[in-house]
Structure 1
Amino acid sequence: MPSFDIVSEIDMNEVRHAAENSKRELATRFDFRGVDASVEFKDEKVKLTAEGEYQIKQLSDILRSQCTKRNLDAKAMNASGKIDITGKTHTLWVDFKQGLEQDLSKKIVKMIKEDKFKVQASIQGDKVRITGKKRDDLQQVMQMLRQADLAQPLQFNNFRD
């Protein structure tokens, strides 16, 4: 029976490269001349530091554009939303979503059941396994999920015939 897995994974090496490219772009930006600002990759998170909240938002936009250039989905970025202020330094930690959370997995299974595809969907930890009798049914499920507006990027792997 054909099957595949729905997962959400981010390549952390690409995230590190995007952070390093953001740091290089920061050095060349005119609006950051003479401003104490930095971008660091630490413990699978990116630390954005600047003197003001507006500059933090600009750094976040720079990181988002670098991620897009490296084929990372911007939906995977999870900015904590809370900017830590210590003295004149503002800090924002940006992490990246890995794996499917339980509620998103349930939403995917519900979407598949509502569209009445002839497949079986089962939640297995941080992934969802889809099995069906026909390969075409599985491809229809993939197409439906690509068009759906979910809060996280999805990848389809482990396709078996």
Structure 2
Amino acid sequence: MADNHSFDVVSEINHVEMHNAIDQAQREIAVRYDFKGTKASLEFDKKENAITVLANHKGQLDTVLQVLKEKMAKRGVPVKALIRGKVEDASHDTVREVLKLHTGVDTEDARKIVKDIKQLKLKVQAQIMEDKVRVTGKKLDELQAVIAYLKEHGPEYPLQFVNLT
């Protein structure tokens, strides 16, 4: 019973589901009446973890993003993982926006998470390990209290709690 239990706080997305969401959004854009004859499109760069959205104007770009967000939500991919970029002019009178997908816990956020966990006054330890935070403790109830706290007071991007042992 004296074993330590632990879990990792991570921020990652399911790339297969993300790819499927983008594929579904591309199909909807291809058949929707309001996108007929336009340059509206989505492109997913897996290596860069980025999505390039192309549209004829800003309003259409927002509509394409809304379609993408709906598909992401249906597939269980957190919409908060999208980091919007700057809308810029592209060739042939179009606009482009590059969206980044958030992965990993930022260093500043990891420090804040560790500090918040210490302020809970529970008998748990938290340590930063690259782009995740490991929390260890003797009682599962205390670990679950930490998870509940982080779900409520965590950073803006989505967190997952994995490897609970």
Assess same fold via TM > 0.5: yes
Q: Which residue of structure 1 aligns with residue 156 of structure 2? A: 151
**Structure 1: gaps spanning 5 or more residues:** none
Answering whether residue 30 of structure 2 is matched by residue 21 of structure 1, we say: no
Q: Percent identity?
A: 38
- In 2, distance between residues paired with 1:62 and 1:83? 20
3-state SS, counterpart of residue 18 of structure 2: helix
- 1:64-103 aligned at under 5 Å gives the runs 64-103=69-108
- In 2, distance between residues paired with 1:137 and 1:66? 36
- 1:1-161 aligned at under 5 Å gives the runs 1-43=4-46, 44-160=49-165
Q: Residue by residue, what CA displacement relative to the aligned partner does 1:59-95 show, whole Å, maximum 9, x if unpaired? A: 1111111111110111101121333433402111112
| Aligned residues of 2:102 and 2:157 also touching (Cα < 8 A) | yes
TM-score (norm 2): 0.90
- In 2, distance between residues paired with 1:124 and 1:84? 40
Distance 1:84 1:111, change over 3 A: farther
Distance 1:101 1:84, change over 3 A: farther
TM-score (norm 1): 0.92
Q: Give the superposed CA RMSD.
A: 1.4
Q: Which moved more, 1:23-32 or 1:94-103?
A: 23-32
| Aligned residues of 2:10 and 2:132 also touching (Cα < 8 A) | yes
- In 2, distance between residues paired with 1:19 and 1:138? 36
Task: State how many pairs are aligned.
Answer: 160
- In 1, distance between residues paired with 2:115 and 2:27? 44
- In 2, distance between residues paired with 1:150 and 1:100? 9
**Structure 2: gaps spanning 5 or more residues:** none
3-state SS, counterpart of residue 159 of structure 1: coil
Offset of residue 17 of structure 1: 0.8
* Runs of 4+ in structure 1 over 6 Å off: none
Task: In structure 1, give the amino acid aligned to 2:147.
Answer: M
